[in-house]
Amino acid sequence: MLLTHVFNAGIVGCGGAGFPTHVKLNCQAEYMIINGAECEPLLNTDKYLMRHFAGEIVSAAEKCGDQVGAKHVVIAIKDYYEAENAALSEAIRTLGSRVEIFLLHNYYPAGDEQMIVYEVTGRVVPPGGIPIAVGTVVSNIATMLAVSEAMDGQPLIHKYMTIGGDVPEAALLRVPVGMPLAECLAAAGIACEPGRQYILGGPMMGRYVYGADLAKEVVTKTTSGILVLPESAEWSMPALQQMINRARSACIQCHYCTDLCPRHLLGHPLRPHMIMRRMAMSGPAFADELLQDPEIQNAAICCECGVCERFACPMGLAPRSINSALKKKLGAAGIRYQSDGQSTEPLPFRNYRTVPAPSLTARLGLAKYMSAHPDTCIEVSASEVQILLKQHVGAPAKPCVSEGDRVSEGQLVAAPPEGALGANIHSSIDGVVDRIEADRIIIRSEVA
């Protein structure tokens, strides 16, 4: 029953790549963990949801826990989230719920899926594995709110998002899926400037876009915020070959990147300084034979948290970006990480090497923006939405409407191909299907 509601509503993991939730919940697990860490600096979306929709979140977490047969249903939040803790605790009391709250220390990346599994269960997900390998399912706060709404028959067509960073006033918005991001900024009173850089998501793992390119971006089911970077910021990374050249000339093999790597500290065999050494010792151009090197293949288990390049490296090098490029090359070559399925032991000094979140924020130059905690949400409507057919892991959805059709808010407009992994897509406004392009459906409101 729950899975049918979740599938019909087109719910995907709102906090990551968008894995279809009806598939994730179709298993048996001992732990159901709801990730409320929101550990990326400057994002306030999940914290707002926990304060204002605690009952819905607790109730949905319990239903999801029942679905997977979990003995333990846990919402994990940072230890300093006092207001969120109070709201969730009150909801648990009022509902007589079996949901528990787990307090995480304020380090980065406490919200990484594998960190949170270890913190809550004491189990380490095997390298290259996923949480169900240790009897755990992890979802997040926004997904729980979507599940709660799905139980009332509402599809996932709106997103809550943070507007923050170098802006006069940080804001929280509730916007239709498919709304252009430049219009979201405008709704918060911020002009989209061509020379500015923006981050879609958080500053550590989000995607960087330049002003002109922001015009092409729209809200998807996984959007959590837009951060505006200070004009002086130089955060984008150069091309792979340039990064390799820099590694060759400047990597001092101090191995700080490995010492602080969260996955390495869990006992995984990832050693970014060794990957940098291999890259530095390769020839002037990237050689595909490098992909056969087991040390290089370990790049596949990098979670791209960015600790190595945004915090650890004293030379300003880019191990994370190199790993990211290597992962694409490994994928294109059909080389998959060979996991033996065995769990590993965290290194004994792990707890002393986690990166305190305030230190990270200071290192990023973002501390001055951290005091903004908006607590009201602006409801935004759109005159046109561009709804992407692939906002999730799996196959793109196939349109089930035609150009010129009138559609209503919440109406199904695209569905996954028969038997394929994917998610339903719904219209987020009342309007007319203006165009259907290869990757999107454009719907125009008829209200002037």
Q: Where do contacts with ligand SF4 occur on this chain (CB under 6 A)?
A: 251-257, 261-263, 270, 272-273, 276, 302-308, 312-313, 315, 317, 319-320, 323
Nearest to ligand SF4 of 30, 304 (CB atom): 304
CA atoms of 58 and 168, how far apart (whole Å): 34
- Shortest distance (Å) from residue 138 CB to ligand SF4: 17
Nearest to ligand SF4 of 20, 201 (CB atom): 201
- Shortest distance (Å) from residue 248 CB to ligand SF4: 11
Nearest to ligand SF4 of 276, 325 (CB atom): 276
Nearest to ligand SF4 of 24, 271 (CB atom): 271
- Shortest distance (Å) from residue 319 CB to ligand SF4: 5
| SS3 label, residue 399 | strand
Q: Do 421 and 434 touch, CB atoms closer than 8 A?
A: no
Quick one: tokens of 428? 């987020």
- Shortest distance (Å) from residue 307 CB to ligand SF4: 4
- Shortest distance (Å) from residue 314 CB to ligand SF4: 6
Nearest to ligand SF4 of 142, 257 (CB atom): 257
Closest by CA to 119, choosing from 97, 98, 129, 134, is: 134
Quick one: tokens of 414? 């695209």
Q: Cβ–Cβ contacts within 10 Å for residue 189, how many?
A: 12
- Shortest distance (Å) from residue 285 CB to ligand SF4: 20
Nearest to ligand SF4 of 304, 434 (CB atom): 304
- Shortest distance (Å) from residue 260 CB to ligand SF4: 7
Pinpoint the alpha helices (H) of 272-428.
272-281, 294-297, 307, 319-332, 350-353, 357-364
Q: Do 427 and 409 touch, CB atoms closer than 8 A?
A: yes
Q: Do 136 and 124 touch, CB atoms closer than 8 A?
A: no
Nearest to ligand SF4 of 154, 245 (CB atom): 245
CA atoms of 264 and 231, how far apart (whole Å): 35
Please state, in angstroms and as integers, the Cα–Cα distance from residue 356 to each residue in 3, 91, 102, 424, following that order: 38, 30, 18, 39
- CB neighbours of 178 closer than 8 A, spacing ≥ 6? 218, 219, 382, 385, 386, 387, 388, 428, 429, 440, 443
Nearest to ligand SF4 of 160, 311 (CB atom): 311
- Shortest distance (Å) from residue 280 CB to ligand SF4: 8
CA atoms of 70 and 63, how far apart (whole Å): 10
Angle made by CA atoms 90, 10, 110, in degrees to the nearest 5: 50
Nearest to ligand SF4 of 34, 322 (CB atom): 322
Nearest to ligand SF4 of 89, 282 (CB atom): 282
Closest by CA to 414, choosing from 126, 69, 144, 157, is: 157
Q: Do 28 and 68 touch, CB atoms closer than 8 A?
A: yes
Nearest to ligand SF4 of 47, 264 (CB atom): 264
CA atoms of 252 and 52, how far apart (whole Å): 49
- Shortest distance (Å) from residue 50 CB to ligand SF4: 26
Pinpoint the alpha helices (H) of 199-341.
211-214, 240-250, 256-259, 262-265, 272-281, 294-297, 307, 319-332
- Shortest distance (Å) from residue 101 CB to ligand SF4: 27
CA atoms of 41 and 19, how far apart (whole Å): 24
| SS3 label, residue 165 | strand
**8-state DSSP, 298:** G
- Shortest distance (Å) from residue 352 CB to ligand SF4: 16
Nearest to ligand SF4 of 67, 114 (CB atom): 114
- Shortest distance (Å) from residue 116 CB to ligand SF4: 15
CA atoms of 408 and 432, how far apart (whole Å): 9
